Each structure stands twice: as C-alpha cells, then as structure tokens.
Amino acid sequence: MTNPNPLLDEADRERVAPPCVLVVFGASGDLAARKLLPALARLASRHALPSSFSVVGVARSELSDDEFRDRARKAAPDAGPAWEELCGSFRFVAGEYDHPDTFARLHEALDTLDRERGTGANRVHYLATPPSTFGEVVEALGANDLNRPATGGQFARVVIEKPYGRDLDSARELDRRVHAVFDESQIYRIDHYLGKETVQNLLALRFANAIFEPIWNRRYVDHVQITVAEALGVEHRGSFYEQAGALRDIVQNHVMQVLSLTLMEPPATMDAQGIRDEKVKALRAVEILDPLDVGTETVRAQYDAGWVEGEPAAGYRSEDGVDPESRTETFVALRLDVDNWRWAGVPVYIRTGKRLPKRVTEVAMQFNAVPHLPFLARQARGLGPNALVLRIQPDEGITLRFGAKVPGQSFAVRTVSMDFLYGAAFAEETAEAYERLLLDAFIGDPTLFIRSDEVDQAWRICDPILGAWQQDESPLARYAAGTWGPKDADRLLERDGRHWRNP
C-alpha cells in the first residue's frame, strides 16, 4: 500500500484522477472530437489529470499516432501547454474490434505507456462506438484480458455510452454480455445529463434544505411537469434518429434520470449506493401504462416545416437520412402516475421534442391552490398557482412563483417570480458534463452513472409504450416546427383541468 501523496492538498487529491490510461474505442468519431477530447483538455488545464495519464485511441480508421495527436490538439486548440504536452503521449491503434491483432497492438501500446508514462497499469475503456458494437467490443476486452488491470494495477473500468439497448429485451441482452466480462462495479453507464450541475443541484435543493422537503409530496404538490425541449432538428443524425425517436433518445434516459432524482426518497447516504438505491425505488413506483391506455396517456407527433428562432425549418420527413414516410416520433407527451405513499395521485406530465420554439429543460413542481382564497375574484385575477421551477438548461437556476400584492391603493394580487440564477451566485466556471463524468470514472465514483437495475426500470416504463405504438397504425399527430407540439399534447393536460407551463 502506497502512502498518500503529501504534496497534494486534500481538495486537490480528492479531485485528481489516479494514474491511468483512457482507451477510447471510436476515437476517430464525432463524440471523441466534440466532447471527450475537449473535456480531457479542460481537465488537463485545470490540473485534474494525473501527471501519469495518457490516451489510446482505437478505431477502424487508419490513423497514425501523430495524426491522432493532431486531431486531439485541434479538438481543443486553445487548451494551452499542458494539453499540448499530454497529446504528445497519445497513441492510436487502428483495427477492427473483432480482430485479435487490434487488441495485441492495444496491449503493446498500454504496456509502453505504463513503462514510459507511469500510468500504473490502470485502464478506463470508453465505448464511443455505435451502440451495435458495444457487446462485441466488451467481449473482445474480456477475451484479451483487458477487463482487469495489468500486473501491479488497481482497476479496469468500462464506460458505456447511451443508448443502452433499444428496448427492454435488447438492454437485458446487452447487460448479460457486459456482465459476462465485467463486474457491475467496473461498469459506468453514462448519461451526460447526470453530469450537469443543475441536475445534481436537484439533490442539493431537496436534501440540503429543510424548507422544501416538507412540501415535496402529494399533500402540497398538484402535479409535476418535466419539459425537455430542443429548438434543433435532427441535424446530421437523421438516419440514427430514424431508429431512435424521442422516447428512446430522450425519455428513456435523460427524462427518467431527472424524474427519479425529482421523486426519490431522501437517501441515507449521498454515496453511489445510497442515491442509486433510492432512484431505482422511485422508478419502480412508476405505474406501467396498460397498452390499452397508451393511446390516451401518450401523444406522439412529428414536426412539419415551420419557423424556429427566426429561421425557416424543414419538416422532419424532408431531413437528410429520414424516410419520407417515416413514423418516427420527434415529439412525445405523456402522463405517468406514481404508486407510492409520497406521490399517489400526483400526475407527472412529460414532454420532449425537436424543433420546439426554444431549447429548454426544466422540472416544475406545481403546488395546490390555497384551500380558501379570501379575496374577491377581481382582486386575484392575476394570481396563478404557486410553482417551483428548476431550470436545468439554459439559464440554469430556480424560480419560485408566488402571489404578491400589486402596489397601489387598491388590493390586487398578482403572481411574481423570485429567481435564483445559478451563474449569479456562483462565479466558478461550471464543469461541462463530460468533464465531470470522465473525472468521476477515473476516480472511481459511480454515483452519477446509471446502474444496471436503473436501466432495467427505465425500459420497463418505456417498453409498453413502444410496443403499443408499434401496433398502432393511425397517423402520427403533426406540429409545425417552432410550436410547442400538437394540440393533442395540450388536450392531455386540459382534460385534467391543467395546462402546460410556458417555459
């Protein structure tokens, strides 16, 4: 056992990764260039990477070490000398994922880095490859003895990107293949939403404050609204999106994570097990829709041409890579009910879509009306329901909406907003989600990664909806790009006497 490093402060040591090599499968791809390499560059410039750290890129593309290093530098051109120096140590292994020679050369690169760079025989494998290759790569890692640290090392981990399966069966099958090679403690299923500061702030808001928890239940909350809106269309991901759709792309992962953090019980401890146990319990309490109710409790739709943010936008079926007869949903609205002591009778309304008027993600807790309003109707005309809105992106913060007297001689009440703006209270530059999650994977903190049973529960909720939609051949609802979805989505709430918020 090596003694702790006395020359790093407690705080520094806590958030500095241990010596290791990050092996990126799919290193020549879009995710590596847009997210992973820039995140590593930021970690390097913040001194959060160990001195003994390096990256090995693995991909089918024929790149040399120098070409890969060049790509890494270009991915973060202003990152400074620390990144420049780090890039100089990167290696690249070109080859097929099912070819033993690829892994023999990977072994060689890793051994060299351990020797020359002091990377401690520790590995973090990152699967930034198409989802269809996850099982194959994981099995190859096992077959080539890369599922455990090399001699003298302490860990070998695997980070797996979303989507984790495309339905419950395929997710379970992937899990079976992954578990045949890696123990659950080695598996880090990533959903970048959990790396967002404001998603983590849900835990701080709920469990670090005495004033919110007492009202966080069916006695005070009328309903919950979760909105994940995107102004963008499918961009260059048309063919991928055709296979996914909004339910798989957003609801099964991002929304289910936000939902579970919003509804979960207070954990006994804020460690990985404490938090993930409670998230799973919350998901398990979500009532599964009967296939016969899917038609009334969900709305799926597709965008037509319209205007978004002052620009004309093509309809979904005209996008590159999209079938002109496509039935893939670009918008979902649904109502879920939660069967537990805290939330029974409190509906959760979810909506997500592409080509909506603006990019916004928020969770809104809408509270019950007062039992008796002691004002004349005309005095309270401007009064809306109390709401606590957690803005996840952009404009991160919290808004409390409540009634206040309008100044003047007469007595009138109007709803006002009390805003907490995250960026105004904390000047620290917030870490980008991938930056936070990569560092957590290096350090070995799985709290913000998704456990096997969480994936299972999220698919358990979404699977019957997908199944019912598959059987339903009626035309999809349509909405003009730049609007808040189809009328059917409004009716979903209106029949309950409620309305979507205007985020």
Partner 1 sequence: MSTILGTWSAEQTTVGEVETAIARLRRQEERAAVRAAVVTLVVPTFDDHEAAAALDVLRALGDHHPSRAIVLVKDGAGPAGIDAELRVHCIERDTRAVCFENMLLHVRGDTAHHLDSVVEPFTLPDVPVVVWLPHRLLTIDDPLLAAADRLVVDSRAAGGAAALSHLAFLTDRLPVSDATWLRLTPWRRLFGGLFEDTRLRPFLDDVRSIRVASRGIARLLLAGWLTTRLGLDRALVALDTGEHPAVELVGRAAGREGRFTVERTGDQELRAAAEVAGEARIERVADLGDRSTASMLGRALTAIGRDEVYEHALASALDFRR
| Parallel, antiparallel or unpaired: strands 311-313 and 331-336 | unpaired
| Minimum gap (Å) between residue 118 Cβ and partner 1 | 4
Q: Does 428 bind partner 1 (CB under 8 A)?
A: yes
| Minimum gap (Å) between residue 131 Cβ and partner 1 | 34
Query: Residue 67 or 84: which CB sits closer to partner 1?
Result: 84
Which of 34, 74, 423, 470 binds partner 1 (CB under 8 A)? It is: 423
Q: Does 18 bind partner 1 (CB under 8 A)?
A: yes
Which of 425, 471, 473, 475 binds partner 1 (CB under 8 A)? It is: 425
Q: For 282-330, list the strands marked E by DSSP.
A: 298-304, 306-308, 311-313
Q: Does 19 bind partner 1 (CB under 8 A)?
A: yes
Which of 6, 77, 324, 407 binds partner 1 (CB under 8 A)? It is: 6
| Minimum gap (Å) between residue 40 Cβ and partner 1 | 14
| C-alpha Rg value of the chain to the nearest Å | 24
Which of these ranges, 16-24, 67-75, 230-238, 341-349, lies near partner 1 under the rule CB under 8 A?
Answer: 16-24
Query: Residue 10 or 473: which CB sits closer to partner 1?
Result: 10
Query: Residue 16 or 301: which CB sits closer to partner 1?
Result: 16
Q: Does 9 bind partner 1 (CB under 8 A)?
A: yes
- The tokens for 259 are 């939902």
| Minimum gap (Å) between residue 119 Cβ and partner 1 | 9
Q: Does 2 bind partner 1 (CB under 8 A)?
A: yes
Q: Does 292 bind partner 1 (CB under 8 A)?
A: no
Give the number of residues in contact with partner 1, rule: CB under 8 A.
Answer: 35
Q: Does 453 bind partner 1 (CB under 8 A)?
A: no
Query: Residue 28 or 52: which CB sits closer to partner 1?
Result: 52
Q: Are 321 and 192 in contact (CB under 8 A)?
A: no
Q: Are 138 and 181 in contact (CB under 8 A)?
A: yes
The one-letter amino acid at 136: E
Residues 106-125 that bind partner 1 (CB under 8 A): 116-118, 120
Q: Does 8 bind partner 1 (CB under 8 A)?
A: yes
List residues with catalytic annotation: 254
| Minimum gap (Å) between residue 82 Cβ and partner 1 | 5
DSSP reduced 3-state for 13 = helix
Instruction: Name residues whose C-beta falls within 8 Å of residue 410's C-beta, 6 or more positions apart in sequence.
Output: 379
Question: x/- string (CB under 8 A) for partner 1, residues 20-59?
Answer: -------------------------x-x--xxx-------
| Minimum gap (Å) between residue 3 Cβ and partner 1 | 7
Question: x/- string (CB under 8 A) for partner 1, residues 240-279?
Answer: ----------------------------------------
User: What is the rounded CA–CA span in Å between residue 21 and residue 118?
Assistant: 10
Q: Name the maximum alpha-carbon separation found in the chain.
A: 84
| Minimum gap (Å) between residue 291 Cβ and partner 1 | 43
Q: Is 95 left (phi over 0), alpha (psi -120 to 50) or beta?
A: left
Query: Residue 33 or 82: which CB sits closer to partner 1?
Result: 82
- Other Cβ atoms less than 10 A from the Cβ of 435: the count is 21
Which of these ranges, 15-23, 166-174, 196-204, 454-462, lies near partner 1 under the rule CB under 8 A?
Answer: 15-23
**Cα→Cα distances 186→156, 160, 375, 479, Å:** 7, 11, 60, 44
Three-state SS string across 209-269, please? CCCCHHHCCCCCEEEEEEEEECCCCCCCCHHHHHHHHHHHHHHHHHHHHHHHHHHCCCCCC
**Cα→Cα distances 297→253, 261, 365, Å:** 19, 23, 20
Please identify which residue in the block is written with the tokens 């079938």: 323
Question: x/- string (CB under 8 A) for partner 1, residues 68-107?
Answer: ------------xxx-xx----------------------
Q: For 368-476, list the strands marked E by DSSP.
A: 387-393, 397-405, 413-421
- The tokens for 454 are 């969480």
| Minimum gap (Å) between residue 275 Cβ and partner 1 | 24
Number of H helices, E strands in the chain: 17, 17
- The tokens for 444 are 């070995």
Q: Does 395 bind partner 1 (CB under 8 A)?
A: yes
Which of 34, 344, 394, 411 binds partner 1 (CB under 8 A)? It is: 394
What letter would DSSP give residue 450? B
The one-letter amino acid at 99: H
| Minimum gap (Å) between residue 218 Cβ and partner 1 | 32
Q: Does 359 bind partner 1 (CB under 8 A)?
A: no
| Minimum gap (Å) between residue 207 Cβ and partner 1 | 19
Please identify which residue in the block is written with the tokens 């351990």: 114
Which of 424, 473, 497, 502 binds partner 1 (CB under 8 A)? It is: 424
Query: Residue 325 or 428: which CB sits closer to partner 1?
Result: 428
- The tokens for 188 are 């880090």
- The tokens for 85 are 């120096």
User: What is the rounded CA–CA span in Å between residue 201 and residue 187?
Assistant: 24
DSSP reduced 3-state for 478 = strand
Q: Does 445 bind partner 1 (CB under 8 A)?
A: no
Q: Does 421 bind partner 1 (CB under 8 A)?
A: yes
Residues that bind partner 1 (CB under 8 A): 2-3, 5-9, 12, 16, 18-19, 45, 47, 50-52, 80-82, 84-85, 116-118, 120, 394-395, 419, 421, 423-428
